[in-house]
Amino acid sequence: MFLIVGLGNPDKKYEKTRHNAGFLAVDFLAGKNVWQENKKLKSLISFCHSGLDQESRKLDPDFRRDDTDDLILAKPQTYMNNSGQAVTALMKKYNITNENLIIIYDELDLPFEIIRVKLGGSSAGHNGIKSIIENLGTENFWRLRIGISNEKKELIPADKFVLSKFSKEELEILNEKILPEVEKKVENVIKAD
């Protein structure tokens, strides 16, 4: 069982912002799946099976977990800087090991369209990752970083840039090229386990 957490901020005003690249990624992975809010776990959660592409994923209006489900997708509702609270609660509830945790998030220091995957490492200044490291007491979990940088980064302060919305063109590239690649990289991590 893998827990895949997309980082972002829950308010509507943050939808389609660069800082919500993690939310956009897990939405893509969920496909037609239903999201359910779990206030105790401070997250929106969806269950699915890793062997299916996102178009084939079930649409279950009753939100019943299936015996074949081996992925838990989550969007913390704690806001970025407190992501670790939700991740810790989810890991305890579903008995997830650090090696079976994949965090997907935006990376300001990577150019747009670049994706990087690694196990372990520091927060590199990302407050969501910093919160997760502090709450888990370890850096040993998978990170999948989605590059969000573009030429406008130099003209806008970093805190404002990450909260700016992707352009229409960037959203098209994200949906047609980047998110399908994110899905492949997630599958590679799972298969390598």
Cα 39 to Cα 49: distance, rounded to the nearest angstrom: 24
* pLDDT tens for the 193 residues of the chain, in order: 999 999 999 999 999 999 999 999 999 999 988 899 999 999 999 998 776 555 555 544 444 455 556 899 999 999 999 999 999 999 999 999 999 999 999 999 999 999 999 999 999 889 999 999 999 999 999 999 999 998 887 889 989 999 999 999 999 999 999 999 999 999 999 988 6
Q: Examine the residue annotation and report whether 19 is marked as an active-site residue of this protein.
A: yes
Residue among 175, 80, 179, 66 at smallest CA distance from 132:
80
Question: How many CB atoms within 10 Å of residue 176?
Answer: 9
Domains of the chain: 2-192 (3.40.50.1470)
CA angle 137, 142, 147 (to 5 degrees): 115
Cα 99 to Cα 96: distance, rounded to the nearest angstrom: 8
Selecting among 6, 10, 17, 19, the annotated active-site residue is 19
